[in-house]
Amino acid sequence: MNIFNQTFQKNISAAKMFIFFSRLMDRPVFDKEDQRIGEIYDIVVRPSQVYPLSHGLIIRKGFPNRKYALVDWQDIEKLDTDGAKLKIDKSRIDFGKIPGEKKELTLRRDILDQQVVDTHNHKVIRVNDIQLLTVDQALMIAHVDIGTRGLFRRLGFEKSVDLTVKLFNPKARYLLDERLISWKYIQPLTINPVSMTIKIDVPQKNLTNIPAADLGDIFLDLNINHQIALFKSLNLTNKAKIFTNIDFKTQHSILDEMNDLEVSELLNNIPSDEATDFLEKLPREKTKHILSLIENKYSRRLSQLLGYSGDSAGGLMTTEYIAFTKETTVQAALDQIRELKFKTEPVQVIYIIDEARHLINTTNFRRLILANPQEPILNSAFPKTYFVHLDSSVKEVAYLMEKYKYFAIPVVDEENVLQGIITVDDILSQLIAFAWRRLKKIKIFQKT
Amino acid sequence: MKNLKSFWAKTLIFLSVMGPGIITANVDNDAGGITTYSVAGAHFGYALIWSFIPIIIALVIIQEMCSRMAVVTGKGLADLIREEFGVRVTFYAMTVLVFSNIFNTISEFAGIAASAELFGISKYLLVPVCALFVWWLIVKGTYKSVEKVFLVACLFYVCYIVSGFLSKPDWKMVAESSISPSFQFDKTYIFMLIGVVGTTIAPWMQFYQQSSVVEKGIRIENYKYSRLDVVIGAFVVNIIAIFIVIVCANTLFTHGIRIETAKDAALALKPLAGQYCFYLFAFGLLNASIFSACILPLSTAYSVCEGMGWEIGVNRTFKEAPQFYSLYTAIIAIGAAIILIPGVKLVPIMLVSQATNGILLPFVLIFMLLLVNNKRLMGKYINSKFYNFCTILIIFAMIILSLILFFTAFIK
């Protein structure tokens, strides 16, 4: 009997376990003498593992001169859709003008009705309601509701709309399809007023796992203040990745918000072709200033790249590539690549040069791995290497790359000294723009 | 030399920022606006021209706040209302906005139908063609291409200025009557005055202006150009309105012809001011109606999707932003279909649109005032005390005017 009773009670509590924040909002709050002191305004939450737990209750009273008070969660005896009952007396609550402290996360101010990032579907969404889970005495954020039903619930029409829909189609998708998204995929966008950054929850790190191109798209859905705050909150690697994936206008705004040190750190970490793409669009004085900030050697290379016209091979190329002198053994070359000596991304192609950096030949990764490790690298080279000059046109470059099926093509100056390489993605974006102007337009406008 | 160079640089920046203010203001001279100004000119001559000066000031002050909020917060007005005042307020505001804009759109299509009759084309041909064109423009276009089309449409308003010159007005009298307010204590005069001022600031304008500035992504350092855009827009729109009044005052008023609509005005112009003046006037009406029939549904779809948190964008496809395009399509379809019903009465439609505007405007203006003074949102860009004083004065005046319009709509 006793056991039965226990399971029975468990069932009841299980049914009551999930609760929508909209059902709690504006419900009355009573003190221990059952005297009404105000209504539920907001809930302060604190991060604990993945799901944040309720930590305090903000009570509101009075109209039109509203006053607010923060009550510790331990002082709450009972909280449900009928309202809240406190363990303490009315006299122990002091009301003030401002609802809660800014630095803590609260449901109503920071999440409800606000935009958040859904890191699962890679989208910026607006929260219609929050689903809470009762755990022991506290509440835990379980899901956010982004569906139409959540909207109707907030408006107080949920029941009547449900009824109408049921009348017409009892199996309607509207009734079954709850648009709830687990909190573990939600990244709030509250900007800390002091540091002006967004707190990214460490145990989840979901935001940083999104591919850079998608994160760039999410970025463009945010307003400028959120963009800047979110950017500042990322680590250097992610900053560099994002920066190369957003449009110039946003890049420019973000750059204006950074100090000299941050700018130099960032520019030192993005590939030279992307850096020049960005720098050549800036006003000349700004470009000069930025070049003066970054490492001497790199800035010289960048200003050299900036000198080439944008649609010539010189303007398209990147100066990050892997090159070895012809005497280097295959083993030594592989070791150096393994040691991450090169900060370049395209590792498929490896260039062979002499002491004066004249281009001699090309090899690729596959040939390198299959070659005898003790032999010099030149023995693993292709029979012949094609290249372009600094002033070659996009068309020439594209034609050669297509003809010889190159992932990357080397660029040399008049004396045959290797200057840089052009990778297939750079050429592809040029060609798409060339062949299909409309597509390029769409791409640019989506970013504005 | 250096000055010249920086002048060109500044002009270039302005050209890139220009758009939202000028477009929003020009849509104000829509079919309804042209009708009001024609009637004002025909019935009262130059006597109402002075009222355009306070209208310019009010328009600049209100629209400037929208522009500023857009640049500083990077959010649309509906977005801000949702975030600061909650979903319930937003929902009801959006519902009223949708209604008011549907009725406004109907009156734009009525303008298209009227100009079809002026040109001797069947309205059953021109209205669906224009509706399709308007729909196609947004669904297939991108923000930049659409904005260019809109700016070209703004240029066509010049035809009212040309027709103004064709009517050979007495410039001395125009100048005198615009500087010296000549108030008449006459019921019809006061109603006309309220009509002229009341049609100037409509709720959709604030939503549209703020969204399009956000969409343009104007940077805070270029804000002064955005403000210039608003000021130019307010001046241009009122100068064109003055020219409409001049044309009608100069021809219809002097001959004592009474009119009810813009179509009457154009028809009456034909024998008095010549064929060219008639065609310019009619073309102006067609252009204004198409232009506004495009912007009103667009602005509605923008605001509603912003407020409800649905995907927005001229740059997205139908699949990516279904609610946005459904709403846009539906409003155009309803607007065009109602005008094609044989024997439909336009007067009640106009009254409903005025009434809904009157209900919504006070709320929108008060929300704006609260938002623009919110330090958390605007930082150092909140209103100054003097600016607030002016704004409150204007808001009071606008609320009283729109309330009077609202009540007279039912009493009459």
Rounded Cα distance between A28 and A164, Å, is 30
- Residues of B with Cβ-Cβ distance to A226 under 8 angstroms: 74
Domain of A30 in residue numbering reads as 16-100
Low-confidence residues in chain A, pLDDT < 70:
1-16, 49, 99-102, 174-177, 192-197, 199-206, 208, 310, 340-347, 433-448
CATH for B21-411, among 1.20.1740.10, 3.40.50.300, 3.30.565.10, 3.30.470.20? 1.20.1740.10
Residue ranges per domain, chain B? 21-411
In a domain, A447, yes or no: no
Q: Quick check: A50 contacting B, CB < 8 Å?
A: no
DSSP string, A128-197: -EEEEEEETTEEEEEEEE-SHHHHHHHHT-HHHHHHHHHHH-TT-HHHH---EEEGGGEEE-PBPTTT--
For residue B69, give Cα distances in angstroms to B66, B105, B211. Answer: 5, 27, 10
Last residue of a domain, one of A158, A190, A222: A190
Same domain, A173 and A222: no
Same domain, A120 and A23: no
In a domain, A315, yes or no: no
Single-letter amino acid code for the residue at A167: L
CATH number at A93 reads 2.30.30.240
Q: Tell me whether residues A128 and B309 touch, CB distance under 8 A.
A: yes
**CA neighbours closer than 13 Å in the CB half-sphere of residue B40:** 28
Q: Which B residues 145-164 touch A at CB under 8 Å?
A: 145
Nearest CA in chain B to A222: B74
Q: Which residue has the higher pLDDT, A308 or B49?
A: B49
CATH number at A238 reads 1.25.60.10
Per-residue pLDDT tens for B11-31?
Answer: 777 777 778 888 888 888 888
Most B-contacting residue of A106, A108, A113 (CB-CB within 10 A), to test interface: A113
Does the bond joining B203 to the residue before it have cis omega, within 30 degrees of 0?
Answer: no
Query: What SS3 string covers B183-200?
Result: CCCCHHHHHHHHHHHHCC
Q: Please give the pLDDT value at position B330.
A: 92
Rounded Cα distance between B409 and A359, Å, is 84
Tokens read off for A293: 């900030």
Q: Which A residues 158-187 touch B at CB under 8 Å?
A: none
Same domain, A327 and A384: yes
For residue B105, the surrounding DSSP H or E stretch is helix B77-118
Q: Which A residues 186-225 touch B at CB under 8 Å?
A: 222-225
Q: Please give the pLDDT value at position A2.
A: 45
Same domain, A84 and A22: yes
Once rounded to an integer, what is the mean pLDDT over residues B21-46?
82
Per-residue pLDDT tens for A295-343?
Answer: 777 777 777 777 777 677 887 888 788 888 888 888 888 888 887 666 6
CATH number at A360 reads 3.10.580.10
Same domain, A215 and A302: yes
Same domain, A425 and A330: yes
Q: Please give the pLDDT value at position B2.
A: 57
C-beta of residue A42 within 8 angstroms of C-beta of residue A114 = no
In a domain, A196, yes or no: no
For chain B, give the number of residues: 412
Per-residue pLDDT tens for A19-71?
Answer: 888 888 888 888 888 888 888 888 888 877 678 888 888 888 877 778 888 88
The domain total for chain A is 4
Q: Tell me whether residues B309 and A126 touch, CB distance under 8 A.
A: yes
Where would I find the beta strands (DSSP E) of B262-402?
Answer: none
Q: Which residue has the higher pLDDT, A197 or B152?
A: B152
Same domain, A339 and A424: yes
Q: List the single residue in B73, B86, B219 with the smallest CB-CB distance to A253.
A: B219
Same domain, A125 and A180: yes
Most B-contacting residue of A125, A144, A224 (CB-CB within 10 A), to test interface: A224
Q: Quick check: B385 contacting A, CB < 8 Å?
A: no
Tokens read off for A297: 């050697």
Same domain, A341 and A254: no
Tokens read off for A374: 């003790």
Nearest CA in chain A to B144: A445
C-beta of residue A264 within 8 angstroms of C-beta of residue A302 = no
Last residue of a domain, one of A100, A118, A151: A100
In a domain, A441, yes or no: no
Rounded Cα distance between A129 and A112, Å, is 6
Per-residue pLDDT tens for B112-133?
Answer: 888 888 888 888 888 889 889 9
ipTM of the assembly?
0.71
Helices (H), A356-435: 365-370, 394-403, 424-435
Same domain, A271 and A352: no
Same domain, A86 and A113: no
Q: Tell me whether residues B143 and A448 touch, CB distance under 8 A.
A: yes
Q: List the single residue in B82, B216, B315 with the smallest CB-CB distance to A446.
A: B315
Same domain, A221 and A178: no
Q: Quick check: A128 contacting B, CB < 8 Å?
A: yes
* Residue B33 DSSP class: H
Per-residue pLDDT tens for B303-357?
Answer: 898 888 887 766 777 777 788 888 889 999 998 888 888 877 777 777 777 777 7
Rounded Cα distance between B30 and A395, Å, is 50
